[in-house]
Amino acid sequence: MKMLGRSYMVIIFICLYLPIAYLIFYSFNSGGTMTNFDGFTLEHYKSVFTDRRLIVILLNTVAVALISAGLATLIGIGGAIGLYNIRMKRLKQSLLSLNNVMIVSPDVIIGASLLILFTVLGISLGAFSVILAHIAFSVPIVVLMILPKLQDMNASYLDAARDLGANSFDVLWRVIIPHIKPGILAGFFMALTYSLDDFAVTFFVTGGGFSVLSVEIYAMARRGISLEINAISTLVFLVVLLIALGYYFITTRPSVKRGGIT
Amino acid sequence: MKSTVSMILAAVGIGALILFGTRFVNPVPNEEGNVLHVYNWGEYIDPDLLAKFEEETGIRVIYETFDSNEAMKVKVNQGGTNYDVVFPSEYMVEKMVVEDLLMPLDHEQIPNMKNIGDNFLDQPFDPGNTYSLPYFWGTVGVLYHPETTEGLDFSDWDTLWDDRLENDILMVDGAREVMGVGLNSMGHSLNETNEEVLQEAEEKLEALGPNVRGIVGDEIAAMMEVNEAKAAVVWSGMAQDIMWENEALDFTVPEGGSNLWFDTMVIPRTAQNVEGAHQFMNFLLDPENGAQNTEWVGYATPNEAAYQLLDKEIRQDERFYPDQEQQEELEVYRNLGPEMISLYNELFLRFKMALE
Amino acid sequence: MMRRLLFIPYLIWIVLFVVAPLGLMVGYSFFDISGNPTLANYGAFFSSEYFEMTLSSFWYAFLITLFSLLISYPLALAIRQTKHKMFWLLLIILPTWINLLLKTYAFIGMFGKEGLVNAVATALGFAEQQLLFSDIAFIIVSVYIFIPFMLLPIFNAVDGIENNLLSAARDLGASKWDVLMRVLMPLSLPGIKTGIQIVFIPSLSLFMITRLITGNKVITLGTAIEQQFLTTENWGMGSTIGVFLILAMMLVMTVTSGRNKETGRVGRL
C-alpha cells in the first residue's frame, strides 16, 4: 500500500513539474522564443541581473504577494470564526454566498469595479491600491480553507478549556488557532498563489509606474514573451525550492505527530 | 502556538521591507521632478531609446505596459494615474476622440512630423492628424507554409476555403479581422454596415469552419513557429515576428482588399507633462531614432526618413512594405458605432460557437 | 467580545469589496451599450447562444472538478503517509507560483503537433495525436491548475483523522475498502466539499485557457464576459452574464453545503 502511494505521488509530481521543466529548459535557449532550441546560453540570466526595472518588478511581485496574503489571512481568520459562530442558518448562508462572490467573478469584473471604487474613494493607484485589491480577492479563499477545520473541531475541547477557567481570549489563542492552523496555512499559501497569478485585477488597479510580473508578462504576449521571463521564473523557482529543501533537512528529526501542515 | 499568527505577521513585515527596498534598487523620482508617463504595448520600443531620451532631455520616463486597446482605454478614461503618451491602435484613436479623451497635438512642437510619409498622414480615423501620429503600421494577410500548401495560391482570400486546408488554419481572435476575411472574400468593404451583407459574410465564414483549427490570440506566434497549422490569418507585424523564428513560412496579403492598421502616439487629456510628451514624440520621429526603433521592433515604419536608413533588403520587401498600388486596396477600420460593433461581435461569436 | 472584534475587518471587507462591486455590477446589467436603461441584456441572456454556453460551462466545470477530485483524493492519502508532509505539500503548491500564462505556453509547446507529447507517443508507436485545440487538452490543463486547490482542503481533512481510529477499524475486521468508505470518506467530507467549491466555482468562469488551449472551440461564460468587457465594451451585457454566474455559484453552494448536521451539534465556540 505504501509503495503504491509512493509511486502514485511520483507520477503526479512528474506531471506537475513537466511544464516547469519545459520553461526552465528554454530559459537556456539562445534563440528568442520557447519553440525552437537553437543552442545553450546564459545570456537571459545575465540580462535579468542587469535589468533594474525587471528586478524591481520582481521585488514588487513578492512584496505584494506576502503583504496581501498575510493581511488577507488575518482578516480571513476573523471572518471564518465569525461565520462559524453565526447561528441563524439563513444569515450564515447569505454571508457565505457573499464570501464566494469574489471567487466566481471573472477578473475583468473585479478589476473594473475595483478601479471604479478606488477612483471614487480617491485612492491613488499604485502599490497601495494593488495590495488592497489583492487582499480583496484573497480573503474568501482563506475563509473557505479555514471553515472545514472549524467544523471538525471537537466542542468538548472548548468546554473543557472553559471549565478549566480559560477566558475567551485563551480559548481563541490556545485552542482554536492551534486547531485550525493547517487551514490557516493552506489559506495563506492559496492566497499567495492567487496574488502571484493575478493579472487582470492588477492591471486595472495599478498605476504610477508600479508593476508586477504577471502584468509585464501579459503585456509582452503580443510581441512574444521574452526568455528573460523564463530565466527570472527559474531563479524564483530555485530559491523557493532551496528554502523547501532547507526546511526538509532541518526537520529530518522525527516529525511531530498530528497537527496537519506543521 | 502563537507561531502561526506571528509567522504570518512576519510575512507581512518582510513584504513591507522588500517594498521599501525597491526604492534603493531603482530610485523613484519625486513627483516634482520632470517625469513622463509612457503607456505602451509590451516589448514595443527599444529600451536603449528610452535611456537616450532620458539622457538628452533630463526627463525621467516612467514606463507602463498594456495588452489590449480596450483595457488601456478603461485605464485612461477612469483616471487615477495620468499618462502623458499612449500608443493606441487607429480604431481606438477614433473612439477616444469621440469620448473626448485626447488632447489636440501642437504640430509646431513636433518638427520631425515632416519625416512621416504622406501616405500615412491625414487618415480618415484622424483627419489632419489632430490627435495622433502614426508609430507603426501594417496589414492583415495570410501566413503560410509553402511546402505543405503546394499548389495553393494565397493571393486570393477564397483559397482559405480549399478542402486541402481542412483543420489547418489558425485565425486571430478579432471580430473585425475574422469578419473581414468573409467580407473581403466577397468583395465587400471592411466597414460594411449592411446587416444582410454581414449575415451573408458570417454564413460564408461558417463554411470555413471545417478548415479552422482554432481562433487564437497572441499565442498564434508560438503555434506557427512550430508549424501547428499550415496557414494563419494574422497581422503583418506578427507575421514578421513569426517568420523571424520560422524561416519556412511566407506571408502574403491577398488581393481584393485587406486591412491597413496603425499603432499611433497620442496625448490623453489628463496628461501632466504635455511639453515632455511632444518632445518624446518628436524624439521617436527622428530619422536615426526611428530607424533604430524599427530595427528593434521589426514592424513597418511610417517614418519615411527612417525607412530610407533601413537595410535595402527590408525596404524592398513588398510583403511588409507593399507598393503604392497594393496600398490603395487597403482599408482602415472605421469606428462604426457601438450598435454596429455589437453586431460584428455577435456574428463573430456565432461563428465561434459553430466551430465543431 | 474578542471574536466580535475580529469579525469587524471581515465585515468591512464584505461591504467594501463585495457588496459595493456587486451593486455596481447589478446596476450595470440594466444598461445597454450606449448607457440607456434597459432589460434587453436579460432578454439576450436567455437566447439560445448563452443557454448553450451556460450548459457547456457547467459540463466542463463538472468534469474538471471530478477529475481534480479523483486525482487529489488518493494523493492526499499518499501524502498523509509520508514523513515530511509539509515538504511534499509545498512541492505541490510550488508550481502554482510560476506564472500561469508562462505555463500555458509550455503546454502549447508540449501538446503541439511536433511537441513533446507527440514525440513520445510516436516513439512508442502510437499515432500522432492532435491534442492542442481538443477539449481533452482543456480539461488536462484545467485539472493541472486546480489540483493544489482540491488537494489542500482534502489533505487537511484526512490528516486530522487519528491513525488509531483507522487501526481500530481494521482490528474490528473492516476491510481496507470499508475503512476508506465508512471511516475516511465521511470524516473527510467537509474537506471534499470545500475542495469541490474551490474548484467548481472558479472553473465556471475560466477564460484565458479556453482561448489559448482550445482556440475558442470551448467557450465558457467567463470567456463571454471577458469579451463583452474588453472587446465589445458592452459592460451591461458582461455584467448580466456575471449576475448569472453568481446565481449559479449560489446554487452550487446550496447543493454542497446542505445538511451539515455536525455544525449544529458543535455549537458556539
Residue extents of the structural domains in chain C: 51-256
Contact yes or no for A116/C27 (Cβ under 8 A): no
Q: Is B135 annotated as a binding residue?
A: no
> Residue holding cell 508578462?
A217
- Which residue on chain B is closest to A182 by alpha carbon? B4
pTM of the predicted protein model: 0.89
CB contact under 8 A, B342 and C232: yes
DSSP conformation class of C161: S
Q: Is B91 annotated as a binding residue?
A: yes
Cα separation, C215 vs C229, whole angstroms: 19
| CATH value at residue B168 | 3.40.190.10
Which of A91, A99, C5, C34 has the alpha carbon at shortest distance from B340?
C34
Distance of CA B278 to the CA centre of its chain: 21
pLDDT in tens, A5-52: 889 999 999 999 999 999 999 999 998 778 778 899 999 999 999 888
**Is B22 an 8 Å CB contact of chain C?**
no
Q: Chain C, 33-62: which have a CB under 8 Å from a chain B CB?
A: 33-34, 49, 52-53
Helix/strand/coil for C237: helix
> Residue holding cell 451583407?
B197
- The residue that leads in pLDDT, A223 or C138, is C138
Distance of CA A237 to the CA centre of its chain: 14
Residue A261 has pLDDT above 80, yes or no: no
Q: Are residues B252 and B148 in the same domain?
A: yes
- Which residue on chain B is closest to A183 by alpha carbon? B4
DSSP conformation class of C172: T
The whole-number pLDDT of residue A105 equals 87
Cα–Cα distances (Å) from A196 to A51, A109, B128, in that order, read 21, 19, 45
Cα–Cα distances (Å) from B92 to B123, B341, C107, in that order, read 14, 13, 33
Cα separation, B159 vs C168, whole angstroms: 73
Three-state secondary structure string covering chain B: CCHHHHHHHHHHHHHHHHHHHHHHHCCCCCCCCCEEEEEEECCCCCHHHHHHHHHHHCCEEEEEEECCHHHHHHHHHHCCCCCCEECCEHHHHHHHHHCCCECCCCHHHCHHHHHECHHHCCCCCCHHHCCEEEEEEEEEEEEECCCCCCCCCCCEHHHHHCHHHCCCEEEECCHHHHHHHHHHHCCCCCCCCCHHHHHHHHHHHHHHHHHEEEEECCCHHHHHHCCCCCEEEEEHHHHHHHHHHCCCCEEECCECCEEEEEEEEECECCCCCHHHHHHHHHHHHCHHHHHHHHHHHCCECCEHHHHHCCCHHHHCCCCCCCCHHHHHHEECCCCCCHHHHHHHHHHHHHHHHCCC
Confidence of residue C264 (pLDDT cuts 50, 70, 90): very low
Cα separation, B168 vs B160, whole angstroms: 10
Chains with 3 or more CB pairs closer than 8 angstroms to A? B, C
- Which residue on chain A is closest to C82 by alpha carbon? A6
Of B70, B170, B227, the CB nearest to C233: B70
- In one-letter notation, the amino acid at residue B256 is G
CB contact under 8 A, C207 and A106: yes
Which of B218, B146, C190, C247 has the alpha carbon at shortest distance from A219?
B218
- In one-letter notation, the amino acid at residue A17 is Y
CA distance C48 to chain A (A): 22
Q: Are residues B152 and B102 in the same domain?
A: no
Residue in A184, A203, A240, A262 to test binding to B, most B beta-carbons within 10 Å: A203
* Domain that residue B275 falls in: 33-137+262-315
Q: Are residues B129 and B180 in the same domain?
A: no
Of A115, A223, A226, the CB nearest to B41: A223
pLDDT in tens, C105-134: 999 989 988 888 888 888 888 888 888 898
Q: Which three cell numbers stand for residue C248?
A: 449559479
Half-sphere exposure in the Cβ direction for C257 (13 Å, CA): 22
**Is A150 an 8 Å CB contact of chain C?**
yes
Q: Which three cell numbers stand for residue C68?
A: 481534480
Q: Are residues B120 and B143 in the same domain?
A: no
Q: Are residues B143 and B200 in the same domain?
A: yes
pLDDT in tens, B187-208: 999 999 999 999 999 999 999 9
CB contact under 8 A, B245 and A209: no
Task: Enter the CATH code of domain A54-250.
Answer: 1.10.3720.10
pLDDT in tens, B304-344: 999 999 999 999 999 999 988 888 899 999 888 888 988 99
Mean pLDDT of all residues in C54-64: 93
Cα–Cα distances (Å) from A262 to A186, A255, B335, C7, C157, in that order, read 11, 9, 59, 26, 14
Confidence of residue A255 (pLDDT cuts 50, 70, 90): very low
| pLDDT, mean over chain A | 88
B139, β-bridge pairs: B260
The whole-number pLDDT of residue C261 equals 43
Strand ranges (DSSP E) for chain C? Answer: none
- In one-letter notation, the amino acid at residue B223 is M
Q: Are residues B255 and B298 in the same domain?
A: no
Q: Are residues B291 and B186 in the same domain?
A: no
Domain C51-256 listed as CATH 3.40.640.10: no
How many CB atoms lie under 10 A from the CB of residue B46?
17
pLDDT in tens, C240-260: 999 999 998 888 888 877 654
Residue A169 has pLDDT above 90, yes or no: no
> Residue holding cell 507633462?
B273
The whole-number pLDDT of residue A2 equals 74
Q: Are residues B186 and B217 in the same domain?
A: yes
Residue C266 has pLDDT above 60, yes or no: no
Residue A260 has pLDDT above 50, yes or no: no
B138, β-bridge pairs: B261
The whole-number pLDDT of residue A201 equals 93
Q: Are residues B254 and B266 in the same domain?
A: no
B250, β-bridge pairs: B144
The answer as to whether B58 is a domain residue is yes
> Residue holding cell 527570472?
A232
Residue B45 has pLDDT above 90, yes or no: yes
Q: Are residues B131 and B165 in the same domain?
A: no
C-alpha distance across the termini of chain C, in Å: 12
Cα separation, B219 vs C108, whole angstroms: 9
The whole-number pLDDT of residue C256 equals 78
Cα separation, B182 vs B202, whole angstroms: 7
Chains with 3 or more CB pairs closer than 8 angstroms to C? A, B
Q: Chain C, 228-247: which have a CB under 8 Å from a chain B CB?
A: 229-234
The domain total for chain B is 2
CB contact under 8 A, B226 and C115: yes
Cα separation, B293 vs B46, whole angstroms: 5
